[in-house]
């Protein structure tokens, strides 16, 4: 994966997550750790997502993950092969 592809994906991820109004957002590309993996060969990236949003307040982990997957939409089908999520409300950090 070229840096421009990674930058483009990160920009897309940030844009898609913007409606969740994150107060903190960190995207870590770990695709290089999965070179040769089937998902990596197909072009999908491996990412760690750390996100803090007031919209997560009062929601359990499954609900938070569903919100994130919904926001990312079709990126989860091709651009993102694997996503590790750490989602918190502001009062939890």
List, for residues 41-83, the tens digit of each pLDDT value.
Answer: 566 788 999 999 999 999 999 999 999 999 999 999 889 989 9
Count other C-beta atoms under 10 Å from residue 82's C-beta.
16
Domain hosting 53: range is: 3-92
CATH code of residue 19: 3.30.300.90
Mean pLDDT over 19-46 rounds to 80
The answer to whether residues 12 and 75 touch, using CB atoms and an 8 Å cutoff, is: yes
Strands 80-88 and 45-52: parallel
- Give the integer Cα–Cα distance in Å for 51 and 88: 6
Instruction: Name residue, tokens 């995207």.
Output: 27
The number of folded domains in the chain is: 1
Average pLDDT over residues 2-18: 81
pLDDT over 80 (residue 33): no
């Amino acid at each position: 994966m070229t840096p421009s592809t990674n930058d483009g994906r990160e920009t897309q991820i940030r844009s898609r997550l913007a409606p969740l109004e994150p107060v903190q957002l960190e995207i870590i590309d770990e695709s290089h750790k999965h070179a040769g993996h089937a998902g990596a060969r197909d072009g999908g990236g491996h990412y760690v997502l750390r996100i803090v949003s007031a919209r997560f307040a009062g929601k359990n982990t499954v609900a938070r993950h569903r919100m994130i997957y919904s926001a990312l939409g079709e990126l989860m089908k091709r651009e993102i092969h694997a996503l590790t999520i750490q989602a918190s409300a502001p009062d939890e950090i």
